[in-house]
Structure 1
Amino acid sequence: MSEPSITIDSFELARSLQRITGEVAVARLQRLSDMLAQSDGKLRYQIDGVIEQEGSPAADLRVNGRLYLVCQRCNGSLEFDFDRTARFRFVANEEVLNSLPIEDDEVDAIVGSRAMNVYDWVEDEVILSLPLVPRHDECSAPVTNERSVVAAAAPNPFAVLAALRNDGDDSERRS
């Protein structure tokens, strides 16, 4: 049986300085699971509502757990300990979001909601924070270039010409 989604009022969370903690099975997060070698384990999350100095509602989201990524070098399973904390400022709508300056790299702005899905928020943050090209420091499987393997197996087209040339040389010697 699938665990139910958890929804929060993001503005109330910030206003009342609430703390929410929990965990979610990695297998429950379908988009994330599709990117992994295996979807074992759980992710733990902690959300702390805050009001920023200028009065904006915000929250600190911390997510941690072990993920099994696909190594892009050998296609094997790669253990990855995930631990990320990020600050999110809640805005009322897309129009406000699009009008914000992009300069602030320390705080991400997102559209808040009276029914914000916590699991979707956690999943989005994990997906956006994964390494672009995960790979082992050292892979157990040898790295092969598929083209070189195919090229080595294919006959050299010039070998036929060399054989014809050699046959021609033999016939000249016989005459």
Structure 2
Amino acid sequence: MSHQTQVIPDPFEFARRRNTLNGEVDARSLPRLAAEVQGVTAQPVSYELLGSQVDDQCFIAISASASLIMQCQRCLGDVCCEVEVDSRLLLVPKGEAMPDEDLEVDDFDPVHAAHDFDVLNALEEELLLALPLAPTHDDCSVPAAKENGDDRSPFALLKSLKTKS
């Protein structure tokens, strides 16, 4: 696994020169992401940053893919989720206001940037935003209430309480 530079010294110059930065990182080294998932697979998170400039606006596009283990929201078991990130960040100098009229455009997100742009922090943020809200297995069903020989639905008792009142 290669660990390239994790900081871009001048993100605006990076964007103006249309530079690229590729790398791989172990998801366990991203603390906020590691706290949200059950585990990670053996494959590292691979990422690519691509700078660009349109008119006088500087952008960094982030592409990444990760294979993460999350908790299935139906059976509560582990489920492997393939997370893909493809986002574009508008670089706004620190201290300047975020562009209000451009917030309606959905193809980029404005972020404050200064010298020493933290690549791994930006990558982690985009991965967190790309996590599925309710991960489930493709062929998973809600567990049945068959503990202690009881085949009734867990809601059957609630239904009987409702009819008594």
The answer to whether the aligner puts 1:48 opposite 2:50 as a matched pair is: yes
- Counterpart residue number, 2:77: 76
The 2-side partners of 1:134 and 1:11 are apart by 37
**Structure 1 residue 113, shift from structure 2 partner:** 1.9
Count of residue pairs brought into register by the alignment? 148
> Which has the higher mean CA deviation after the structures are superposed, 15-24 or 4-13?
4-13
Q: What residue ranges of structure 2 are gaps of 5+ in the alignment?
A: 146-152
In structure 2, distance between residues paired with 1:47 and 1:77: 30
Q: Which amino acid aligns with 2:127?
A: V
Q: Deviations over 1:20-70 (max 9, x none)?
A: 000110100111111111133311000011001x22011111011211111
Higher alpha-carbon Rg: 1
- The residue aligned with 2:35 is 34
Q: Percent identity?
A: 27
After superposition, where does 1:10-159 map in structure 2 within 5 Å?
A: 10-40=11-41, 41-52=43-54, 54-93=55-94, 95-97=96-98, 99-139=100-140, 142-143=143-144, 148=154
Q: Which has the higher helix share?
A: 1
What's the TM-score once normalised by structure 2's chain length?
A: 0.78
SS at match of 2:98: helix
Pair 1:143–1:120, CA change in 2 (3 A): farther
Counterpart in 2 of 1:7? 7
Greater shift after overlay, 135-144 or 54-63? 135-144
Q: Distance in 1 between matches of 2:56 and 2:102?
A: 17
Given that residues 5 and 117 in structure 1 are in contact (C-alpha distance below 8 angstroms), is that contact kept between their aligned partners in structure 2? no
Deviates more, 1:96-105 or 1:116-125: 96-105
* Alpha carbons of structure 1 residues 96 and 86: separation in structure 2 relative to 1, 3 Å: same
Q: Distance in 2 between matches of 1:35 and 1:73?
A: 17
1:93 shift after superposition: 2.5
Q: One-letter code of the match for 2:51?
A: G
RMSD: 2.6
Amino acid at match of 1:139: C
